[in-house]
Structure 1
Amino acid sequence: MNAPATMRAAVVETHDAPFRIATISRPEPSPGQVLVRVAASGVNPLDLKIHAGAAAHARHPVPAILGLDLAGTVEALGPGVTGWRIGDEVYGMTGGVGGNQGSLAEYQAADADLLAPKPTNVSMREAASLPLVAITAWEGLVDRAHVGPGQRVLVQGGAGGVGQVAIQIARALGAQVFATGSAASCAVITQRGATFIDYHAETVTDYVERHTAGSGFDLVYDTVGGATLDASFAAVRRFGHVVSALGWGTHALAPLSFRAGTYSGVFTLLPLLTGEGRAHHGEILRAVTQLVEAGQLAPHLDRRSFGLDTVDQAYHAIKTGSARGKIVISLGSCQRAPKSPQLWAFKIPWPAGSVRIGDQPAV
């Protein structure tokens, strides 16, 4: 193994503070892990909540290296790892929460079960944009709701990261897809293959009548939460199913109950926080790789380029709503080295049991 003994990383010392670029010790893969040379780190709105210390279900002790999603190359294998080879290109949702080192670093020791082969027809940056949103969409549509051919599926918030992927997965599995959004998101939603519904211009009753003759949708995937989840209960057909990735709060179940409908919640972080179900995340991403390589699922990236030295700017772009697609941080050889490298003396703590899990958190 030719990996250096140190690496550059974006470290946040206190919640909601600017990132500092540090040179720290490179991790070694433990049993069941692989060392990944990180090429790109996807940035999600959830990363901003973790950075701010604002997500009770996604605590990350500081000082910390954030970053939930990565794409990169296997550099070394930990004891007991047999499914990967050095040089394999991989992607996954592998850390950045619950005391697990994230992907805003040149190297990450990642659980081998969380990884999947990177799709061969997309770049590292494009691959790094997918894991969290694709896993969240898949768990709701496939694992919980068992989406299938001929179903009428409504995606609430179709222009968001999860929403865009959910549209594409549902269509790939044979469903007829509709998606809500504002007038400004019409183009994005229709480009993904869904029938656009302007939720400002139509009531739930209106669009249910127009698109389903009043019977309701077979499956509703809520990616927005709050009042939109209540609207989802009113939009589903009798014996239909509602899934939400943002299903906390207080909601009246009567509209769903009177339709004899069912509900499922999605908590994408659970395997990272508890260790349970990690292999399934890898399985989901293997299926996603097949969809991407078949041309049935395409990532949507913001055109701007960000690196370790501009992580704060990348986070600001999401915070201010200026992102036009997924923000991705590029790492590795394409990033310049600092003029005066500083080897930080402290060790970044990853204490076990430091995360408080909420009842129904956001992804």
Structure 2
Amino acid sequence: MKAMVINKYGENAVFEAQEVNKPTPKQGHVLIKIAASSVNTVDTMIRKTGKDLPLSPDTPAILGMDFAGTIEEVGEGVEGFAVGDEVYGCAGGLADLPGTLAEYMAADHRLIAHKPKNLSMREAAALPLVGITAYEGLIRANIQKGQKVLVHGGSGGVGHVALQLAKYFGAEVYSTGGGEKQLQLIEKLGATPINYKTEAVEAYVEKYTDGAGFDIVYDSVGAGNLINSFNATALNGHVATTVTLCELDLSIAHFKGLSLHVVFMLIPMLHNIYREQHGEILKSMAQIIEAGHLTPVLDEQHFSLEEAGAAHARLESGKAMGKVVIEN
């Protein structure tokens, strides 16, 4: 089969088209013909950082984690899936799991679910990693109907899904953005937009919560922005975040009694534990999508498998609005 392969990591790493062996599904796995895959920040980190990142696969490496496609073969011990089923998931591209930038991949059936019927392959491929991340963070923060939820970075990959899911769960949702297009998208998705460049944390906390703070803050920006999240959260509130690779003074969190939930959704793939939870989340998301409560936002530019490098560059440019997707 054809695959886009990284033979050497680094800032100038390139994808090379190569013929590689088509995988065979072992027990508990299915063979999937890939229709589309999406690019996530972690993919670009692996390409540039290589083995200095503990989760990077050995070279030659087939990257790519998210996909949508059709099952062509079912391994022993697989239940609930059959040849011809359209599925989506996040199931490779790290450690010893070959990725999605190829014509086929063998995936653990616990990491996948049937594709939402009302989404195209391209749309479905955009959702697994960011969707599972958003869903997990909100559930761990014990989201409840009627709560006030703030999403930092509501026009981004994780943020635009967290925003919609929080609304689906019955919360009153607010979200920060830094430009007119971002703020327009946030409002279109059903949240109250907040321009973090012109509105101070204290100002919008006072304006929207009478100074009490938000019940949950989902921070998809992370790092230094976590201090803003702590300041925006109500006493005994919850902060969920995807980016904590930093040193931080937790004094504010201590004196406010905050619960901090760090979401690292790659753990099931890396450590082969709780994988069935990802399949269940994807199944739940498909139901939410089919009921009309969640829509992925895709970047306007289209990329083919051979243009994997350009797709990575598009995401890294910061100019993409929505998920960057590669189509086979």
Deviant stretches of 4+, over 4 Å: none
- Deviation for aligned residue 1:83: 1.8
Instruction: Pick one of 255, 258, 271 that aligns with 1:261.
Output: 258
How far apart are the structure 2 equivalents of 1:239 and 1:45?
31
* SS of the residue 2:227 aligns to: helix
SS in 2 for 1:47: helix
TM-score by length of 2: 0.96
Aligned mates of 1:276, 1:303 — CA distance in 2 = 36
Q: TM-score normalized by structure 1?
A: 0.87
Q: What SS does structure 1 have at the residue aligned with 2:20?
A: strand
Cα RMSD (Å): 1.1
Match of 2:183 in 1: 186
How many Å apart are 1:195 and its aligned residue?
0.6
Q: CA separation in 2, counterparts of 1:243 and 1:70?
A: 25
Partner of 1:35: 31
Shift of 1:45: 1.5
**Greater RCO (CA < 8 Å, at least 6 residues apart):** 1
Comparing 275-284 and 256-265, the one that deviates more: 256-265
Shift of 1:24: 1.3
Residue 296 of structure 2 aligns with which residue? 299
* Correspondence list, 1:66-105, <5 A: 66-105=63-102
**Which of 244, 247, 251 pairs up with 1:250?**
247
Q: Is the counterpart of residue 211 in structure 1 residue 205 in structure 2? A: no
Alignment pair present for 1:154 and 2:150: yes
Q: Distance in 2 between matches of 1:259 and 1:209?
A: 17
8 Å CA contact 1:53–1:60 kept in 2: the answer is: no
The worse-fitting range, judged by mean Cα deviation, of 253-262 and 55-64 is 55-64
Displacement after TM superposition at 1:286 (Å): 0.4
Deviations 1:120-163 (A, max 9, x none): 00100000000000000011001x11111000000111111000
The reply on whether 1:24 has 2:20 as its aligned counterpart is yes
Identity %: 46
Deviation of 1:216 (Å): 0.3
The answer for the alignment partner of 1:278 in structure 2 is 275
CA distance in 2: counterparts of 1:156 and 1:308, whole angstroms: 32
Q: State the Cα distance separating 1:100 from its structure 2 match.
A: 0.6
Contact kept in structure 2, 1:21 and 1:308, CA below 8 Å: no
CA shift for structure 1 position 57: 4.3
Are 1:227 and 2:221 counterparts? no
Partner of 1:9: helix, strand, or coil? strand
Kept in 1: contact 2:155–2:321 (CA 8 A): no
The match for 2:41 among 41, 45, 50 is 45
Which of 8, 19, 23 aligns to 2:2? It is 8
Q: Does 1:138 align with 2:135?
A: yes
What CA distance in whole angstroms lies between the structure 1 residues aligned with 2:70 and 2:227?
A: 43
Which residues of structure 1 form unaligned runs of 5+?
1-6, 332-363
Q: Deviations over 1:28-76 (max 9, x none)?
A: 0000000001100111121111111267243221110000101000100
Paired residue total: 324
Secondary structure of 1:310's counterpart equals: helix
Contact map agreement 2:156 2:321 (CA 8 A) in 1: no
**Residue number in structure 2 paired with 1:352:** none
- How far apart in 1 are the matches of 2:246 and 2:307? 35
Tell me the secondary structure at the aligned position of residue 28 of structure 1: coil
